[in-house]
Amino acid sequence: MKKSQINPMPEYFDRYINMAEDVDLSTSLKISLQELENAPVEKWKTLGNKTYAHNKWTVKDILQHLIDTERVFSYRALSFARGEKAVSPFDEENYGKMANANRRTVEDLLEESILVRKSTIQLYESFTNEMLNRIGISFKGEYSVLAIGFIFPGHQRWHFKVLAEKYYPLLHE
């Protein structure tokens, strides 16, 4: 199913979903996997623990956030696909603090991101169209399993765009 088939479009998460192409979900997830596999590791390593402002996440924090969010939303997708109607939200700020991502290497975090994405792709390949259209309720309202699938590549692109616009200029200071 394609992005244009999402109904209803979740209000809060549309900002991420709209960053993905209107292609088949499997294709979108595989494109985002390629984007992870071709990530600018050297830039990220050079940035180290720099942030563009006080109390902002480091590159490692962002990578950990992407991993954690994908795991939580994969659980939501699985829950909704299996007929649950609601799941608990998670506190992304607290997850970020508790993860202590800066003790890890960029390579380690990227490897985990790639493995999580591959797992998500496998999960989504197991869903039927009926399952993809199932809707549940969690943080910021209701959304379908299909919508969650398009959140993954869009959320990744959202944060990669933040890195490009706000972090990469720090490399020239």
What does the pLDDT profile of the chain (173 residues) look like in tens digits?
Answer: 999 999 999 999 999 999 999 999 999 999 999 999 999 999 999 999 999 999 999 999 999 999 999 999 999 999 999 999 988 888 888 999 999 999 999 999 999 999 999 999 999 999 999 999 999 998 888 999 999 999 999 999 999 999 999 999 999 87
Residue with tokens 């692109």, as numbered in its chain: 157
Nearest CA to 171 among 41, 48, 36, 37?
48
pLDDT of amino acid 167: 98
Q: How far apart are CA 78 and CA 170, in angstroms?
A: 39
pLDDT of amino acid 87: 87
Give Cα 47 distance to the centre of its chain.
21
Residues with Cβ within 8 Å of residue 152, at least 6 apart in sequence: 29, 32, 70, 73, 117, 120
pTM, two decimal places: 0.96
pLDDT of amino acid 89: 81
Q: How far apart are CA 122 and CA 36, in angstroms?
A: 17
pLDDT of amino acid 137: 94
Domains of the chain in sequence order: 28-172 (1.20.120.450)
